[in-house]
Structure 1
Amino acid sequence: MENRSHALMAGFFTIALLTLAILMAVWLGRDKIKRVPYEIVTKAAVSGLNLQAIVRYKGIKVGNVTDIAFDDNNPGQIILRLEVKPDTPVTTSTFATLSYQGVTGIAFVQLDDDGSSKIALVQDSTAALANVVPRIPLRPGMIQNLEQRGQAILGQTEEMMRKLNVMLDPNSEKSVVTAIDNFNKAAVAWKALPAKLEPTLVRLPELADQAKSSLVAIRHLSTDVSKLTNNLNQFTSSLQAPDGSLARLNLAIDQINTSLTVDTLPRIQNLTGEARTTLRSFSRTSDAINERPQSLLFGKPAVAPGPGEPGFVAPK
């Protein structure tokens, strides 16, 4: 009886010690940090993601996944509840991707930021009263991108195989054979091309020397043209100089013009007047000869004396 009581007391003591150890471990392991809740909404599959999955920010553990549920308002949509440390720099440009750890296939949430915004993503007072948690967008991860691109690659592969089947169709075989034959002919012609080009290649040094001589001649011609241009410029400058030929020619023309205006034209006018007087005298003489032709032999008749002159006879 006494042995049984000792064994019972030892059992109670062991159970009490285990209970105390469990309570101590729970008390010591409890998280005293107040975490910030966020939500991720997605319609993509979240295979391998479990409750208490790790949330990392740029590879650093900052929290855990606390809930995974369907959205009652949007069928097919999944809501992930996250709780992260309050010092995590979550901004409005922060996004999440679903990554997988090693080869175990255990998924975790990877947070990253493209740096386009510096505004912190926080819960305002109105949202807190309505129990609305800030949401972080979920972008396709590497596996999702590989799946999408794999489908595209498979589609392109199927298209390529379909075109190959069309090309290898018996109806197209003749065209393929013709194309290969033409390619062989082109290869043969290309092989014979160096032999045809050999004479031209042999003459290339001579052509290069001729081209060099032509360039030298062109350089000399350019030098001569430059000299001629300089001479023409000098000749033009000398003509346009204040004491140049053009200036002296203009001065001579001005002097001739002045001489014509001051000296020659008055003399011409005087000569014209004298010629006019002579013509009038000649006209009167001609009229007198016409009236008295005998005056050429006997001279001009004497003029009758006027009143008061000797020999004046008054008319009766």
Structure 2
Amino acid sequence: MENKSHALIAGVFTLALLAAAILIGIWFNRDQVQWVPYQIATKLSIPGLNPQADVRYRGLDVGKVNEINFDPNVPGQILVQISVKPDTPITQSTFATLGYQGVTGIAYVQLDDDGSRPVRVPSSPAQIARIEMRPSLFDQLQNRGLAILEQTEEVAKRINTMLDPANQKAILGAFDNVSKAATALETIPRNLQPTLDRLPAVTAQAQRTLATLDSLSKDAGNLTRSLNGLTTGLQGPNGAIERITNSVEQVGAVANKIEYETLPLANDARSSLRALNRTLDNLSERPQSVLFGSPTVAPGPGEQGFSAPTN
């Protein structure tokens, strides 16, 4: 009987000691940090994110994920409840993305700040502040991958269209034309070879022509200089042009003298000869006029003493 009593006492003591150890461990391990609650609202997919997942601010552990629920007020929106340390600098420009640990696929919340609005955002259990969630690198790769797949599909369709029988025939015809053009190009050097062979002779002839032109240019220069000298001699003082001008002036003076001096004398001589001729004519017609004088001529109309005849 005593053995049973001792065993019972030992068992109770052991249980009490175990409960005390558990309570002491819980008391020592209790959380002394006053966590600050925040809420992340997003319509993006959050694969791999689970409660108790880490919350990191630029790589530093600052909290945990508490709950993940659907928003009852906004269909399709997910609410992620997180708790972070009080000294975490959550501002109006802080945003959240999903990060992944290696290749395990386990996700965590990555907080970052672009510094555009550095104003602290207070939060409390009575009024929980919200943090914006932006697409993660995985989401961006997924979206770009879909765009790349769509472009690849479009390229494949175009390639299939290009490789239909009609286009294949056109492509083969183009290759055939290119082959013919290449063959024609091969014949060009052979056709040009005779011309290339004559190029040295043409070059030599061109050089001789240039030499002739150079000599002709020199002769033209000499002729120009000679003409310039002749022009200078003709136009210079006591030159031929000046002497010709003086001679012309002298001839003009002689002509003026003849016009103003000799011509009046010639006119007087002609008048005298005409008067002499008239006198001789009168003597031949009326010799008696030498003795009796010239008969009086009756006055004509308009002269003094004229009288009109009467009928």
Find the counterpart in structure 1 of residue 264 from structure 2: none
Q: Which moved more, 1:80-89 or 1:2-11?
A: 2-11
Q: 2:160 aligns with which of 148, 165, 177?
A: 165
User: Equivalent residues in 2 for 1:1-316 (5 A)?
Assistant: 1-123=1-123, 131-185=126-180
What is the total number of aligned residue pairs between the two structures?
198
Q: In 2, distance between residues paired with 1:59 and 1:168?
A: 52
Q: Deviations over 1:223-277 (max 9, x none)?
A: xxxxxxxxxxxxxxxxxxxxxxxxxxxxxxxxxxxxxxxxxxxxxxxxxxxxxxx
SS in 1 for 2:44: coil
SS in 2 for 1:181: helix
Structure 2: any 5+ residue segments left out of the alignment? 204-311
Larger Rg: 2
Q: Deviations over 1:193-212 (max 9, x none)?
A: 89979x6xx99xx9xxxxxx
Amino acid at match of 2:143: Q
Judged with a 3 Å threshold, the aligned counterparts in structure 2 of structure 1 residues 167 and 56 are, in CA distance, closer, same or farther, namely same
Judged with a 3 Å threshold, the aligned counterparts in structure 2 of structure 1 residues 179 and 44 are, in CA distance, closer, same or farther, namely same
Q: In 1, distance between residues paired with 2:77 and 2:20?
A: 44
Judged with a 3 Å threshold, the aligned counterparts in structure 2 of structure 1 residues 156 and 24 are, in CA distance, closer, same or farther, namely same
- Please state how far the C-alpha of 1:182 moved relative to its aligned partner: 3.9
Structure 1: any 5+ residue segments left out of the alignment? 207-316
Judged with a 3 Å threshold, the aligned counterparts in structure 2 of structure 1 residues 188 and 120 are, in CA distance, closer, same or farther, namely farther
- Please state how far the C-alpha of 1:62 moved relative to its aligned partner: 0.2
Judged with a 3 Å threshold, the aligned counterparts in structure 2 of structure 1 residues 191 and 149 are, in CA distance, closer, same or farther, namely farther
Judged with a 3 Å threshold, the aligned counterparts in structure 2 of structure 1 residues 85 and 172 are, in CA distance, closer, same or farther, namely same
- Please state how far the C-alpha of 1:114 moved relative to its aligned partner: 1.4
Judged with a 3 Å threshold, the aligned counterparts in structure 2 of structure 1 residues 189 and 72 are, in CA distance, closer, same or farther, namely farther
SS in 2 for 1:136: strand
SS in 2 for 1:72: coil
Amino acid at match of 2:173: T
Amino acid at match of 1:138: M
Q: In 2, distance between residues paired with 1:21 and 1:82?
A: 31
Judged with a 3 Å threshold, the aligned counterparts in structure 2 of structure 1 residues 170 and 93 are, in CA distance, closer, same or farther, namely same
Q: Deviations over 1:282-315 (max 9, x none)?
A: xxxxxxxxxxxxxxxxxxxxxxxxxxxxxxxxxx
Amino acid at match of 1:170: P
Judged with a 3 Å threshold, the aligned counterparts in structure 2 of structure 1 residues 194 and 112 are, in CA distance, closer, same or farther, namely farther
- Please state how far the C-alpha of 1:120 moved relative to its aligned partner: 1.3
* Structure 1 vs Structure 2 CA RMSD: 2.9
- Please state how far the C-alpha of 1:134 moved relative to its aligned partner: 1.2
Judged with a 3 Å threshold, the aligned counterparts in structure 2 of structure 1 residues 115 and 13 are, in CA distance, closer, same or farther, namely same
SS in 2 for 1:135: strand
Q: In 1, distance between residues paired with 2:59 and 2:181?
A: 60
Q: Deviations over 1:153-185 (max 9, x none)?
A: 111111111111111111211112123334445
Judged with a 3 Å threshold, the aligned counterparts in structure 2 of structure 1 residues 185 and 54 are, in CA distance, closer, same or farther, namely farther
- Please state how far the C-alpha of 1:36 moved relative to its aligned partner: 1.4
Judged with a 3 Å threshold, the aligned counterparts in structure 2 of structure 1 residues 5 and 184 are, in CA distance, closer, same or farther, namely farther
- Please state how far the C-alpha of 1:188 moved relative to its aligned partner: 5.7
Q: In 2, distance between residues paired with 1:108 and 1:94?
A: 16
**TM-score when normalising by structure 1:** 0.56
Q: In 1, distance between residues paired with 2:49 and 2:150?
A: 30
